[in-house]
Amino acid sequence: MYTKLGLFIGGKWIYEAKKGEDVLNPFDESVLGRLPHATEGDLNDAVKSAEKGFDEWRNTDPEIRSRVILRAADILSERISVISEVMTLEQGKPLAESAGEINQSIAILKFNGENAKLIKDKVVADRDNGLKTLIKPQPLGVCLCLTAWNFPIALVIRKIAPALAAGCSVIIKPSEETPGTAIEVIKIFQEAGLPKDVINLVFGVPHEISDYLLSRDEVKKVSFTGSVPVGKLLAKKAAESLKRCTLELGGHSPAIIAEDADIETTLDTLTGFKFRNAGQVCIAPSRFYVHEKIYDKVRDGFLNRIKNITLGNGLNDGISMGPLSNSRRVDAMKDFIDDAVKNGSNIIYGGSRYQDKGYFWEPTLIENIHEGSKMMTQEIFGPILALFKFNDYDDVIEKANSLNYGLASYVYTTSEVLQEKMAKEIVAGGVSINTASPMHPEIPYGGIKESGIGYEGGIDAIYSYIHKKNINII
Ligand code: NAD
C-alpha cells in the first residue's frame, strides 16, 4: 500500500495545498498519489519550528539523542517489508534492493546513534603556564537537507542521522518523485520520541524551496545529494551568507580490468554492480577499460550475464531490474545511444526502450565508443555498459583521470604492484580493488574535483554538522 502524502511542519501533517504534483509509479506511469507543495508561509513556519527544535535538541543530553536514533533504527527494522513496497512503487527498484537499502539505512542509524554519545568536550592543551584549552563541539543549528530520488531512504538517513547525532535540527526536502519513503522515515522518528520541531519535511518546486531557505539566516548549513550543475547553484547561493556545504554530486567512474584479473569473479562483481538500481547509482562503474589481451573474453562474459537480467515490475518475484525512475532518464539513454551510434559505436546488446508503458530501458552493452561522445563525458546514470580497449597502464590511468568527475573508481588485477600504482595515481574519492564500493556506515565517502565537497559516512559526517568552539582558560 502506498503512503498518504503530506508535509510535516511544526509537528503537524499538512495533506491539502493549493499547489501540488502527482507522484507516478515508474513501472506503469499510474498515479500513486498527490503531493502537496509548501507555500512560502509553510516554509517560514518550517524555519521557525526548526529553530525551536534546535533549541530543544541541542540542550538534550547526548545519551537521550542516542537513544532516540537507536529506537528509530529498531522501528525501521520492524517496517522493512512495508517500506520496501512503498519504495519500489515510487522508485521502481526490485523489492530485494529496496530491502537492502533499508538494511543499510538501519546500519547508518545504529552507527550514528552509538556515536551520538561519544561527541564530547576534549582538552587539547594543558600548558605549563596553566592554560587549558577545551574544545567544545557545538551543533551548527538548523540544517537544510536536499536529496535525490535514486536511494529514497539511504540518502535521507545519511543526512538526518549524523545531523541529529550532532544536535542539529533539520529541514529536509527529499525528491518530489520519491516522497512516500521519506514520509515513512519522519513517522518513525516521531514514534521514536524525537521532539516534534526537530525535523520539518517540505516538498515543492525545488529551486523555489532552496532559494527561500538559503536566504534565511537561521539556516546554517546545506547538505545536498544530486547532480553537479544543481550542486554548483546551491554552493553559489550558500556562499552569499557563507553557509556550510556538504555536496555529494555525480560521478563517471572508471573500471579498469587488467590482463591478470580474475575474470569470472570480476564479471560477476561488475555486472551486479553496474545494473543495480538500473544503473542509477552515483558510484556505479560507467567507463569499462579492458586490457586488449582479455577484451573478447570479457565482452562475451558480460554479454552472457546481461542476457540473464530480467526486467519487470519490481514488486514481482524473479525480477532483477526494474524501470528507470523517471521519463528524463529514458530520454537521456536514447540521447546517449543515438549520439554513440552516430559516432560509429557498436551496440552488442539492448540499446532501446523496453515496452511503451513504464520507464524501462534495456540493459545495454556497447563498444567502440568515440572519446568525445556524450556517453564518455556526461554521467550515464542508467543501464548502459560501455566497453573500451586499452594496452598501456599509464595511458589508461590518464584516461580514467581525464574528466572533471572524481567520485568512485574500480580496478581489477591480481598484481600487487599494479594495485599500488592504481591506488596512488587514480584521482577519485575512492579506489576499490577487486571489489565494488562498500558503503558501510563507518566509511567516510566524498567526491573530489566536481563530484563534491565534504564527506558523508563515518564520524566525519557527524563533525560536518558541528563547529568546534575552543574555550581557553587560565
Ligand atoms: P538533480 O540534481 O536534478 O536533482 C537531485 C535532487 O535535487 C532532486 O530531489 C531535485 O528535486 C533536487 N533539486 C533539483 N534542483 C534543485 C534546486 N535548485 N534546489 C534544491 N533542490 C533541487 O539530479 P537528478 O538527475 O535528478 O539526480 C541524479 C543525480 O544525483 C546524479 O548526478 C547523481 O550522480 C547524483 N547523486 C549523487 C550521489 C552522491 O552521493 N554523490 C548519490 C545519489 C545521486
The proportion of the chain whose per-residue pLDDT surpasses 70, expressed as a percent, equals: 100
Does the pLDDT of residue 471 top 90, yes or no? yes
280 lines ligand 1 (CB under 6 A): no
Determine the residue type at 269: T
Atom of ligand 1 nearest to the CA of 151: 43
122 lines ligand 1 (CB under 6 A): no
CA distance 447 to 449: 7
178 lines ligand 1 (CB under 6 A): no
Q: Which of 37, 201, 205, 230 to mutate to test the pocket of ligand 1 (most atoms within 8 A of CB)?
A: 230
271 lines ligand 1 (CB under 6 A): no
pLDDT at 428: 98
Half-sphere exposure of 179 (CA within 13 A, CB side): 26
Q: By the 8 A CB rule, do 52 and 197 touch? A: yes
Does the pLDDT of residue 128 top 80, yes or no? no
- Ligand 1 centroid to residue 230 C-alpha, Å: 7
* Average pLDDT for 310-316: 98
160 lines ligand 1 (CB under 6 A): no
Does the pLDDT of residue 124 top 90, yes or no? no
227 lines ligand 1 (CB under 6 A): yes
Q: Identify the weakest region by mean pLDDT among 112-126, 252-266, 340-354.
A: 112-126
* Average pLDDT for 97-123: 96
381 lines ligand 1 (CB under 6 A): yes
pLDDT digits (tens, 9 = 90+) for 410-443: 999 999 999 999 999 999 999 999 999 888 999 9
pLDDT at 129: 84
pLDDT at 375: 95
The proportion of the chain whose per-residue pLDDT surpasses 90, expressed as a percent, equals: 96
Half-sphere exposure of 456 (CA within 13 A, CB side): 28
Active-site residue set: 248, 282
Q: What mean pLDDT value characterizes the chain?
A: 97
Q: By the 8 A CB rule, do 237 and 214 touch? A: yes
- Ligand 1 centroid to residue 228 C-alpha, Å: 8
- Ligand 1 centroid to residue 227 C-alpha, Å: 4
90 lines ligand 1 (CB under 6 A): no
378 lines ligand 1 (CB under 6 A): no
CA distance 58 to 415: 51
pLDDT at 437: 85
Q: By the 8 A CB rule, do 73 and 113 touch? A: yes
Does the pLDDT of residue 66 top 80, yes or no? yes
Strand partners, 364: 384
* Average pLDDT for 142-160: 98
pLDDT digits (tens, 9 = 90+) for 289-308: 999 999 999 999 999 999 99
pLDDT at 126: 76
- Ligand 1 centroid to residue 398 C-alpha, Å: 28
* Average pLDDT for 58-80: 98
Report the nearest-CA residue for atom 20 of ligand 1: 206
Q: Which of 101, 145, 146, 379 to mutate to test the pocket of ligand 1 (most atoms within 8 A of CB)?
A: 146
Burial of 312-339, coded b for 16+ CB within 10 Å and e otherwise, reads: bbbbeeebbbbbbbbeebbebbeebbeb
CA distance 122 to 135: 5
Residue 427 burial (10 A CB sphere; 0-12, 13-18, 19+): middle
Does the pLDDT of residue 371 top 90, yes or no? no
Determine the residue type at 202: V
Residue 196 CB neighbour total at 10 angstroms: 17
- Ligand 1 centroid to residue 225 C-alpha, Å: 5
First to last CA, the chain: 63
- Ligand 1 centroid to residue 246 C-alpha, Å: 13
3-state class (DSSP) for residue 218: coil
pLDDT at 180: 98
Report the nearest-CA residue for atom 43 of ligand 1: 282
pLDDT digits (tens, 9 = 90+) for 382-401: 999 999 999 999 999 999 99
Q: By the 8 A CB rule, do 180 and 5 touch? A: yes
Q: Which residues contact 69 (CB under 8 A, 6 or more apart)?
A: 109, 112, 113, 116, 161, 164, 165, 192
Report the nearest-CA residue for atom 32 of ligand 1: 227
Atom of ligand 1 nearest to the CA of 226: 30
Q: Which residues contact 197 (CB under 8 A, 6 or more apart)?
A: 10, 11, 49, 50, 52, 53, 56, 169
CA distances from 416 to 328, 391, 395, 397, 412 (A): 42, 18, 19, 16, 11
pLDDT at 439: 86
332 lines ligand 1 (CB under 6 A): no
Q: By the 8 A CB rule, do 185 and 157 touch? A: yes
Cell for 366?
556497447
pLDDT at 125: 74
Strand partners, 36: 20
User: Which H/E stretch holds residue 353?
Assistant: none
Q: By the 8 A CB rule, do 401 and 447 touch? A: no
